[in-house]
Structure 1
Amino acid sequence: MSFDAREFLRTLPDAPGVYRMIGADEEVLYVGKAKNLKRRVSSYFQKNHTSPRIALMVTRIERVDTTVVRSETEALILENNLIKSLKPRYNILFRDDKSYPYIMLSGDAFPRIAYYRGAFAKGSRYFGPFPSSWAARESVALIQRMFRLRTCEESVFANRSRPCLLHQIKRCTAPCVDLVSPEDYARDVRMATLFLEGRHGEIVDQLGVQMQQAAERFAYEEAAFFRDQIRALQTVLHKQFVDSGRDEDVDIVVAVEVAGVVCVNLAMVRGGRHLGDRPQFPLAGEGLGAADALLAFIEQHYQEHPAPTRLVLVGAPLDEARHLIDETLDLRMGVVAPRFEAEKAWADMADQNARLAIEVRLRESGRVTDQLEALRTALDLQDPPQRIECFDISHTMGEATVASCVVWEGGGMKKSEYRRFNISGIEPGDDYGAMRQALTRRYGKVAAGEGVRPDLILIDGGKGQVGVAHEVLVELGLESIAMLGVAKGEARKAGLEQLVFADGREPLVLGGEHAGLHLIQTVRDEAHRFAITGMRARRAKTRIGSRLDDIPGIGPTRRKKLIETFGGLAGVKNATVEDLCRVAGVNRKLAEAIYNALRD
């Protein structure tokens, strides 16, 4: 060991903080957080390490830097920032787990049930996470069928004058027009909550009591309704992939390594119902093994998401996992190996799906490697491009011009880094001016040392657009970045695209069978799609907004009130005359003028 660890450990406080393992030449080997720095850092310098990866890292440590913070939350934020900026070789990173979907039950007088992604808001309840959008949406649909809760936005709910289609097909009790009492709706909300919490037995028992009470009052239609709810619930429970027969929340985490590729697969069981699984691949980590990846995933995942009552693990030592959960995460969650028949079935499913995911990834990575090498050869690049950015311009007759920038990296499209640029201050239809503005805004940050530098820039366009793009890169001092245009070929037929160079070389036609062209087409088409959707959204917003401004009697105050009441310009357009009349300051004559103006 190249420094006196024992002497260093005496100086560490019993406080939360972040530590950085520093190696030779000031290389940051690892960044971690701890609720107790002294205890956590000391664990690295014990004699026996179950992980060869950690043992190797410890031999390379020459210094440990620490930062004491006030809370574990601050430590988590600082750790994430340092890992993203420093990219330590021994940290294991997974893709952003914040994208897991939830089901939201709003805190309104008549709560709304909805599929949800994003930050939690006060006053609402959130159930999840779910492994996929399919699992969450299916659960919302089941609740609609069984308990008939509303799913409409608050702006729609507050302005309805008659029941919607969902009420007619028996998917909503129409609280918007008072067709259900607050007491009855609250009862349905309680039932839905029990369902989402997995307490199915309690639901069946309560529905059975209510059915019996209705029958004793000779309210046979009401009793039949409760009977149908019971039957629907039983049908749902019997259709699950694997049903443990108990109301329980369990996560199954399996780590598998095949041909040097590690996959951690998370399967979720809520209320005894198997909701599917989600494979995860680490983005970084030198000397990575399945056990290391599984432990790293547990630490990252449960910092962001609620923990179940039990965790079933395959692929890592249980003692290490328990220590991580108890000491680092401070969670009360049972950690076990598969024991019962249902747990073994869940683990086998997770293992099989992890292996299938690795098989697909290996196949895809081989194809991507071929594409990149073919592209490197065709474009005479020194190395295969690892990050490709593509720009496209979209507008309608010069209206609502939008430039898109999409990113390809690490074998696929990186949607979290897509950008749209609303173009202004140019002549309508000036694609060159739009391209200049978009590239200046994007790469001005790179020139200032802030943004990520791509290996290859694609411009959806011909010689003119490429010339403008080259001028921008030269002005910013970034002309060393490889850049080319993708011009549509004869009759705009796929496979006949011309690759246009800024240095005056003759355009290159690779042909429809060229592997490199397939990658270019994928990125170019995604840039085109992203630009068009942005342009259409901006155009619709601009048109409705300008129409409102042109209506006599609509000034800034009334315009703002209309938008607030209906939740946006689209809501104003969809409102009826009667809906508009309910807005303060809008009489019937003005409401009719608004209604007619937005439908011309």
Structure 2
Amino acid sequence: MLNNSNLKVFLANLPSLPGIYKYIDSFGNIIYVGKAKDLKKRISSYFINSSNAPRVSVMVSKISNIEFTVTNSEVDALILENNLIKSIHPRYNILFRDDKSYPYLKISSQEWPRLIFCRVYKEKIDGQYFGPFPDSGAVRETIKILQKIFRLRICDDAMFANRSRPCLLGQISRCSAPCVGLINKNDYLQDVSDAILFLNGKSNHVIKEIKEKMNKASQELNFELASVFRDQVAALSKILNKQTMESSCIEDTDIISVVSEGNKYCVNIAMVRYGRHLGDRSFFSENEYLANAESVLDAFSSQFYLKNQLPDVLVCSHNFTDRNTINSIKKSYGEAKKIKVFVSPVRGIRYSWLKQATYNAKLALQKKFDNINLYINRINKLTDILKIKLKNLSSFRVECFDISHFKGEATRASCVVFENCGMSPSLYRHFIIDKIIPGDDCAAIEQVLYKRFSQKNIKMPHIVLIDGGRGQIEVSKKVFENLNLDVRLLIGISKGDNRKAGLETLVFADDRNDLILGIESEALMLLAHIRDEAHRFAISSMRNVIHKSRFYSKIIDIKGIGEKRCAALLKYFGSMSGISSATMEEISSVEGIPNHLAKAIYESLH
């Protein structure tokens, strides 16, 4: 810890400005990153306040040095803090697993707007976005509703422009078939407007308008059109009535519940959009040293809403420790609207929503504990068999390596980590493998092990698991001997006859004989689970490279498109899939992309 004399001088000279601070231990490791509106007040509070929680006291006792960075505003500090936590993974920060981006529903701004499923929210106006949704199923269900009621198109522009008769959706009355002129533009745009009202929660207003149109059509003896409006009203009413957690409230609402058991915390966030409860998702803190329910809520909200839109209303199980948390996030979006925050106890429909979110959080946490207990049992079985002595089970660490390529092309190695009684996706890594004979897995394993274990001050696992047999293990042994590492850590897992699960053989780099544990072995189940995760991660990395290279070549081969324009497209749309799903008009709106190039790009991708 800092000595008292140096600490007093340091604290006295701190600026009363916004910024971030980093606590560093005696080994030079960053153990905590925080943000502050006033650096002097915030950092001093850790050392002056004698009523710190035990976990905070433990952290403070390990501080050897403090670094800080002044920022222009508290908003900038919030964003910088989030980026540092995600990249450094300090021991005492609370991190939440969120590997998947949240999906959105978009209504494009074209002449004939269409429904689009997307995962990238673009601030530039190229349509209206609705979301985020808890999962892709909620988006697709909403699209089905909009197709059934308002019959909006989902086809891309190429299909729309080249049809001579209605597609299947048009034939089954899930699309009004504007492509072949079965509906005029004004009527179609009115349907789009009604759909937007519906998504904004104004269902009653939409029903009232449709009923008026139905009555008007009846008075004009246009009974066929009146029946269409009648069916729309019936479908809308049915959808609204079957939603047991519906609300007349038109405001988008997120319900956040934090529950704990021991030192584990689970955050469940449920989403209500256009008056309908769309489902929820649970998150777990990866580190609980500083956790209490209020600080977990602060940390989660700061991370979650930097990537996702703020709703109109927040219903929370606990208060925020920092009242400025939401305001800071709101400022980062440049939003002027006021966010309403309701904290338990609440009444009415909000009580039902929060009660359900809390129940789901408890179930998710219990499932988490069940999985941990399962892993603990399997770790005990494996360490007994391999005679590995552990100080504690949570310290048990396995790193598994696998190789994947496509006919020798785009060779990638994966490294996945099992730690703290579970897989740790934030520690996964993939490695580029080059300058080898295509398809040479042994050479690929040799290269990735050198890349991984020749680094300084790395944390060595208890087991280095190699997906492969004797050939891969012999190569791995040479690498470890050259790096003066313990070859006893190396274990190969070789597939059995006909690659049947449960018949794998364990191959060792020392003098131990090959070992077949058997199909019922819980120790083998653990190793096979880690091996399968490494295989999945390696394949996903390789496929992503293949997709990007082929996709990139399609664009780069177009005359007039170079690396700068490709980079501009990627920056604007966020990903290759974003470019692929973009319309010609959206592509042409990118700076530096004229209309003729936008057309060429669109045609090459469709």
Under a length normalisation based on structure 1, what TM-score does the superposition of the two structures give? 0.78
**Aligned amino acid, residue 470 of structure 1:** K
CA distance in 2, matches of 1:475, 1:118: 46
CA distance in 2, matches of 1:471, 1:401: 25
Asked whether 1:234 is paired with 2:237, we answer: yes
**RMSD of aligned residue pairs (Cα, Å):** 4.3
In structure 2, the residue matched to 1:306 is 309
Rate the CA distance shift 1:48–1:275 in 2: closer, same or farther, 3 A: farther
The answer (yes or no) to whether the contact 1:131–1:268 under 8 Å persists in 2 is: yes
Rate the CA distance shift 1:163–1:40 in 2: closer, same or farther, 3 A: farther
Q: 3-state DSSP class of the match of 2:306?
A: helix
CA distance in 2, matches of 1:535, 1:254: 38
Residue range with higher mean Cα deviation, 13-22 or 279-288: 13-22
Q: Shift of the alpha carbon at 1:391?
A: 0.7
Query: Identity over the aligned pairs, expressed in percent?
Result: 40
**Aligned amino acid, residue 468 of structure 1:** V
In structure 2, the residue matched to 1:470 is 477
Asked whether 1:291 is paired with 2:294, we answer: yes
Aligned with 2:85 (options 83, 86, 89): 83
In structure 1, the residue matched to 2:275 is 272
Q: 3-state DSSP class of the match of 1:296?
A: helix
CA distance in 2, matches of 1:332, 1:509: 60
The answer (yes or no) to whether the contact 1:402–1:420 under 8 Å persists in 2 is: no
Rate the CA distance shift 1:455–1:57 in 2: closer, same or farther, 3 A: closer
CA distance in 2, matches of 1:540, 1:147: 35
In structure 1, the residue matched to 2:113 is 111
In structure 2, the residue matched to 1:519 is 526
CA distance in 1, matches of 2:426, 2:92: 24
The answer for unaligned runs of 5 or more in structure 2 is 332-337, 567-575, 581-595, 598-606
The answer for unaligned runs of 5 or more in structure 1 is 549-554, 572-582, 585-600
Under a length normalisation based on structure 2, what TM-score does the superposition of the two structures give? 0.77
Asked whether 1:197 is paired with 2:200, we answer: yes
In structure 2, the residue matched to 1:324 is 325
The answer (yes or no) to whether the contact 1:253–1:265 under 8 Å persists in 2 is: yes
In structure 1, the residue matched to 2:383 is 376
Q: 3-state DSSP class of the match of 2:112?
A: coil
Aligned with 1:152 (options 152, 155, 162): 155
CA distance in 1, matches of 2:547, 2:299: 45
Describe how 1:13-24 pairs up with structure 2 within 5 A: 13=15, 15-21=17-23
In structure 2, the residue matched to 1:70 is 72
In structure 2, the residue matched to 1:574 is none
Rate the CA distance shift 1:179–1:479 in 2: closer, same or farther, 3 A: farther
Residue range with higher mean Cα deviation, 412-421 or 100-109: 412-421
CA distance in 2, matches of 1:100, 1:188: 27
The answer (yes or no) to whether the contact 1:403–1:435 under 8 Å persists in 2 is: no
In structure 1, the residue matched to 2:401 is 390
Rate the CA distance shift 1:476–1:265 in 2: closer, same or farther, 3 A: same
Rate the CA distance shift 1:423–1:17 in 2: closer, same or farther, 3 A: closer
Describe how 1:71-220 pairs up with structure 2 within 5 A: 71-72=73-74, 74-84=76-86, 86-96=88-98, 99-118=101-120, 120=122, 122=124, 123-154=126-157, 156-157=159-160, 162-220=165-223
Q: Shift of the alpha carbon at 1:499?
A: 0.6
Q: Shift of the alpha carbon at 1:280?
A: 1.5
The answer (yes or no) to whether the contact 1:16–1:34 under 8 Å persists in 2 is: yes
Residue range with higher mean Cα deviation, 367-376 or 182-191: 182-191
Residue range with higher mean Cα deviation, 69-78 or 187-196: 69-78
Q: Shift of the alpha carbon at 1:212?
A: 2.8
The answer (yes or no) to whether the contact 2:445–2:472 under 8 Å persists in 1 is: no
**Aligned amino acid, residue 377 of structure 1:** D
The answer (yes or no) to whether the contact 1:263–1:290 under 8 Å persists in 2 is: no
Asked whether 1:440 is paired with 2:447, we answer: yes
In structure 2, the residue matched to 1:253 is 256
Q: Shift of the alpha carbon at 1:189?
A: 2.3
**Aligned amino acid, residue 311 of structure 1:** L
Residue range with higher mean Cα deviation, 279-288 or 72-81: 72-81
Q: Deviations over 1:193-248 (max 9, x none)?
A: 22222222222222223323333333222222122112111111112231233223
In structure 1, the residue matched to 2:416 is 407
CA distance in 1, matches of 2:47, 2:545: 57
The answer (yes or no) to whether the contact 1:198–1:271 under 8 Å persists in 2 is: yes
